[in-house]
Amino acid sequence: MDSLTQIILGAAVGEAVLGKKVGNKAMFYGATAGTIPDLDVLASFFTDKVTALYIHRGFTHSIVFSLLFAPIFAWIVTRYEKYKNFKSWVWLFFLSFVTHPILDAHTTWGTQLFWPFDIRLAFKNIFVIDPLYTIPFLMFLIFAMTQKRTSEKRRFYNKMGLIISSSYLVLTLLLKWIAFNQFEAALKSQNINYLEIDTRPSPLNTILWSANVQTENYYLLGNYSFFDTQPITFTKYPKNHHLLGNLAKNESIKRMISISEGWFTINKKDDVLYFNDLRFGLLSMDTRAENFVFKYKITEDDSGNIIFREEPKDKRDGKRLLSDLWIRLKGN
């Protein structure tokens, strides 16, 4: 999830653990701990693109990280804070750390909660930014923050924020199941044989859902809104995996394929290959376009190493997507 949401979640967890003892300091430490796992993005400054993508939401988003570093941060804090209960501080940092990747596991990118095992949990039931999750949560946190640390209202507001946000996550799982059934029924009615369906919410909402459908030689992309009145339509994208040729044996290529979980297509333009990660869809509601959110140019350096360079995004595409989303969300 986005940084603001993780700060709110961490603050609420911190308040639930130690708010009655240390007041707003509990929110501060919880919020700080809630942002620390995302410091793995700094890897992009020290390594290549593929390795940085592989590291992201890896070790720092694991139970192992939470177990190892919670006592360390608790020990540091007890050196200067008046409240010295080491066990309570450990719980604050552990829960603030571990709830971060648990929430991230609900997004499309997912997280390696069980690192070092190479298992990426990605339930794909909520977009990385979802106002319906974040705004009510933030409001209750602010209400709690304005109350005295011993106040029952403070604990009530904080609990309500946690309960409502968690309930919304459960609701999105139900919405995902309904959308999945709609896509499955549409494929059956259109006599389309497929190998796998992957569904996810579109940006900023859980009303409009997108699906990637894998067949033998191509992928199908489609959208479904709960306000739709017309049948779901799918657009075909050839896999073109054969264009990789001998590059398919390259370790960087293999790792990129692993990162994309096999959901990728290859394009060739002016003798240059492009790797399209289908998991995050298009920067357009027009599925006929091939303007993928994550598109990488495959190049080779002087030493013969394969380099992936992410294609720059046009800010106008983002603005246009938001406008198109609102129109498409209201039904086809």
- Cα-flanking dihedrals φ and ψ of residue 202, to 5°? -80, 170
Does position 46 have pLDDT exceeding 90, yes or no?
A: no
- Looking at the structure, tell me whether residues 288 and 248 fall in a common domain: yes
Number of domains in the chain: 2
Residue 68 is predicted with a pLDDT of: 98
Q: What is the pLDDT of residue 50?
A: 84
**Percent of residues, the chain, with pLDDT higher than 90:** 83
Residues in contact with 223: Cβ distance below 8 Å, sequence separation at least 6, in sequence order: 202, 208, 209, 210, 211, 232, 285, 287, 328
What confidence score (pLDDT) does residue 288 get?
64
What is the domain extent for residue 143?
Answer: 3-172
**287, pLDDT greater than 70:** no
Q: What is the pLDDT of residues 50-106, one digit of tens each?
A: 888 888 889 999 999 999 999 999 999 999 999 999 999 999 999 999 999 999 999
Is residue 184 in some structural domain? no
pLDDT tens track for 109-118: 999 999 999 8
pTM: predicted TM-score of the whole model, two decimal places: 0.93
Give which of 34, 21, 9, 4 is closest to 140, Cα–Cα: 9
The verdict on 161 and 224 lying in the same domain is no
Residues 4-29: tens digit of each pLDDT: 999 999 999 999 999 999 999 999 99
Take residue 130 and report the two structure tokens written for it: 């979802």
Q: What is the mean pLDDT of residues 305-323?
A: 85
Instruction: Based on the fold, state whether residues 199 and 281 are members of the same structural domain.
Output: yes
Asked if the structure places residue 178 within a domain, the reply is no
Whether 185 maps to a domain, the answer reads: no
pLDDT, the chain, mean: 94
In the predicted model, is pLDDT for residue 165 greater than 80?
A: yes
| 106: amino acid identity, one letter | H
